[in-house]
Structure 1
Amino acid sequence: MREKIRLGDVCTVVTGSTPKTGIPDYWNGDIDWITPAELNEETYIINGSERKITELAVRKTGLKSFPKGTVVLSSRAPIGKVGIAGKEMYCNQGFKNLICGPRIYNEYLYWFLKSRKEYLISLGRGATFKEISKKIVESVEINLPSLSTQKEIVDILNKCRHIVDIKREELRTIDLLLNARFVELFGDPMQNTHGYPVRRLSEYIEFITSGSRGWAKYCTDEGTEWFITIKNVKDCHINTNNIQKINVPYNAEAKRTKVKEGDLLISITADLGRTGVVTKEISEHGAYINQHLTCIRLNKELLNPLYVAYFMESPAGKEQFMAKNQSAVKAGLNFKSINSLHLLVPSLAEQNRFVNFVIQVDKSKSAIQKSLDETQTLFNSLMQEYFG
């Protein structure tokens, strides 16, 4: 039977502080001093910091370091980021760090805190911003098996996490491969090294519209069709995982905003220029777009929509979106801005050659993504088994 015990009984909880930023002699030294902003969801071992402090800062301000192996936990802005110190270091006041005693293995504690992020956030107190105090962290209870069992659990979780990391890296490598293939076939899109004709997108647009506003009332988990939002559109694809379901009002507005196979979607607010192309599956399922997206129907005898998406995601396309964003008071594109976009226009045969390559690579990508999802599901179930 696992023993449940307070973290304060097996760990020493310490916090940090910030030397006065107005004293230059305290900064740009060679001593590591971390902040919560440096940690992310994939952080494990922390071997350095972005900002460094000096010995003078330590001596004059009385900062206390924490040793290698300490589990660092962000306690505000935001709560719940976790890592393990790979060396002795210092931190700012945004942490409540746990120096492990002999009864608890630091990597076991790391995974426990990762599994308890939402719970830790719920413990936050404060009117201006939420924070968990030293007392709150010390009072958190943990199931504590024997030290040997803790290490066995960590070994299993680390192996599973390693597989997840490998799969994620494979997906990143595939994206790099597609970008490299684009440049191989069409040259540098910024320089137009192949001398392709440069045309305005408006020359090929047969239909353009933006999505619907105020459709939240139609969104429901029991919906029979999909409502595509900006979060679903990225990197030339439309991700249907966790897509919003909707029961559509069959009126003129719905007819106008329903997408068809081959439609090019571009984000027109916030993160401008995210692209995706509507697949046969999405079209047949039935899908509509919200007001943050524009739907463009192109002359497919001259342009392959997926080629256009990749061009718009290339440096030559992103530069245009950045320029239009900088010229606006509020980030956003109207139809005039969309129509004025320029692109290189290779022959349709050349475009299709690239798109066929993308289609084949996407099959491999889908297989890797499926394997990643299965491994992530296994990982989550193990976390629940060990720490739930």
Structure 2
Amino acid sequence: MWYELGDLISYAKVKRARDLDLPVLSMTSKNGIMLQNNRFKKDIASKDRSNYKVVRRGQFVFGFPMDEGVMYSQKIVDEGILSPAYDVCDVKKSIIDPNYLEAYLHGPRALTFIKEKLRGTTARRRVVPKDQLGTFTLDIPSLGDQSKRLNRLSLMQLLLENKKQLLVLLDELVQSRFIEMFGDTNNSMEWPIANVESIAKVKVGLVIKPTRFYSSSPTRYKAIRGLNISPFCINDTNWVYFTEDGAKSNKKTEVKENDVVVVRSGAPGTAAVVTKEYAGSNAIDVLIVEPDLTQIDPTYLCAYTNFPHGLKQISKGSGGAAQKHFNVEKYKNLTIFIPPLEKQKLFSIEKKEIDKSKLAIQKSIDELETLKKKLMQEYFG
């Protein structure tokens, strides 16, 4: 049955915190309503919080920016206090579960409606006027069907979170295995030590006015920037492209398969191995490291750079107050353990097997995300 939102909620008679000792709550678009940490409690202890609003379990809170989904049911504590800037509503629970309302208002049709009716320009002012918000229409099934739908979505979200946690654990496994095979940052296994410049050629990508070589539309000449580099992998997003003439005039800063590219600015030391897919791309303001494959394995060098073994040294060599910047000479002088090449390659093989598992998990996550979007579309239009 169809209802207007104004028929399902009513703005609550505000009860102020005054001298009540209740949990302090906050709300964000990503995490919803949550308990503030102890540090925040201490920060506001000296402030007047008597005007904070008391929010009961099951009440609904509208915040800002509303178009980013800052609107949630309070399901954390029986009673808590929240900034007086937020609107608190009672929900007609005989018709709609507050959690179902929360899911509905984060659905595609509701968010489109909110964006169309939005007023205000700054984040703290982007809200929909109450009289406009109340006109949004919702197709509400029975409470039993609402519960079933919420259970499906909840199970799907739990699956997604578990799979994402698996990815984190696999990343931790790679670092744990590296330390097990090669020791800690203090070289507890007493490997021979060398400077990077003795086992690799190091240069910097194009720095001076690279934009003059840019193409206004995508070409086959991609250019790798710091934005394209994550630990161990190149991100296939945020590309800039060179024109054909631009690519031909910058052959010296092209990357090859098995080169290691290292971020210089922003997150200095973040490193990835160039795969066959990205060989021939250019590089802008990142380090290009060409390892001597008779001495050093690219994956080992990449891991050493990404892990504390290299990052501790890089952080000492990074300057700049606002944005850290890493000098090419500092990387050349980076000290690195040189285990037997066979052992390095064994780590590389194990890393590739872990990557296969991560790829399968990521594919499963993508499929679940697609299914979740389909269900959200089906349930909430």
Query: For this structure pair, what is the TM-score category when the shorter chain's length is used for normalisation?
Result: 0.7 to 0.9
> Greater CA deviation, 175-184 or 94-103?
94-103
1:57 CA drift (Å): 8.4
1:242-285 deviation per Cα after TM superposition (whole angstroms, max 9, x unaligned): 453736324444423332111111111112221111112332xx
Distance 1:54 1:211 in 2: 47
1:158 CA drift (Å): 1.6
Distance 1:16 1:355 in 2: 61
1:164 to 2:156 alignment: no
1:80 alignment partner in structure 2: 69
1:315 CA drift (Å): 1.8
Task: Classify 1:55/1:226 alpha carbon distance in 2 versus 1 (closer, same or farther; 3 Å).
Answer: closer
Distance 1:137 1:147 in 2: 26
Identical-pair percentage: 21
Pick aligned residue for 2:337 from 317, 325, 344 = 344
Whether the 8 Å contact between 1:45 and 1:83 is mirrored in structure 2 is: yes
Distance 1:73 1:256 in 2: 55
1:198 to 2:193 alignment: yes
The one-letter amino acid of 2:168's match is: R
1:145 to 2:140 alignment: yes
1:179 to 2:169 alignment: no
Partner of 1:66: helix, strand, or coil?
strand
1:68 to 2:57 alignment: yes
Whether the 8 Å contact between 1:31 and 1:52 is mirrored in structure 2 is: no
Whether the 8 Å contact between 2:229 and 2:270 is mirrored in structure 1 is: yes
1:113 alignment partner in structure 2: 105
> Greater CA deviation, 119-128 or 365-374?
119-128
1:122-271, aligned counterparts within 5 Å? 123-126=118-121, 130-132=125-127, 135=130, 138-139=133-134, 141-148=136-143, 149-189=145-185, 191-211=186-206, 213-214=210-211, 217-218=214-215, 220=217, 222-240=218-236, 242=237, 244=239, 246=241, 248-251=243-246, 252-271=248-267
1:13-42 deviation per Cα after TM superposition (whole angstroms, max 9, x unaligned): 56999999xxxxx9xx96321334xx463x
Whether the 8 Å contact between 1:206 and 1:298 is mirrored in structure 2 is: yes
Pick aligned residue for 1:333 from 321, 326, 337 = 326
1:117 CA drift (Å): 5.4
1:53 CA drift (Å): 7.3
The two structures, once aligned, show a CA RMSD in angstroms of 3.7
Partner of 1:150: helix, strand, or coil?
helix
1:314 CA drift (Å): 1.3
Distance 1:320 1:15 in 2: 58
Distance 1:78 1:56 in 2: 31
Could you tell me which runs of 5 or more consecutive residues in structure 2 were left unpaired when the two chains were aligned.
none
Distance 1:266 1:18 in 2: 54
Distance 1:354 1:264 in 2: 16
Whether the 8 Å contact between 1:125 and 1:131 is mirrored in structure 2 is: yes
> Greater CA deviation, 61-70 or 373-382?
61-70
Task: Classify 1:259/1:54 alpha carbon distance in 2 versus 1 (closer, same or farther; 3 Å).
Answer: closer
Distance 2:85 2:297 in 1: 50
Whether the 8 Å contact between 1:265 and 1:277 is mirrored in structure 2 is: yes
1:374 alignment partner in structure 2: 367
Pick aligned residue for 1:104 from 96, 107, 110 = 96
1:215-260 deviation per Cα after TM superposition (whole angstroms, max 9, x unaligned): 684153x5335443333311211232x4537363244444233321
Distance 1:340 1:5 in 2: 67
> Greater CA deviation, 110-119 or 196-205?
110-119
Task: Classify 1:179/1:128 alpha carbon distance in 2 versus 1 (closer, same or farther; 3 Å).
Answer: closer
> Greater CA deviation, 68-77 or 173-182?
68-77
Equivalenced residue count is 370
> Greater CA deviation, 163-172 or 337-346?
337-346
1:363 CA drift (Å): 0.9
1:372 CA drift (Å): 0.9
Partner of 2:326: helix, strand, or coil?
coil
Could you tell me which runs of 5 or more consecutive residues in structure 1 were left unpaired when the two chains were aligned.
21-25
Whether the 8 Å contact between 2:26 and 2:33 is mirrored in structure 1 is: no
> Greater CA deviation, 192-201 or 359-368?
192-201
Task: Classify 1:290/1:326 alpha carbon distance in 2 versus 1 (closer, same or farther; 3 Å).
Answer: closer
1:65 CA drift (Å): 0.9
The one-letter amino acid of 2:138's match is: N
Distance 1:40 1:145 in 2: 24
1:182 CA drift (Å): 0.8
Distance 1:352 1:54 in 2: 52
Distance 2:25 2:2 in 1: 33
Distance 2:351 2:153 in 1: 34
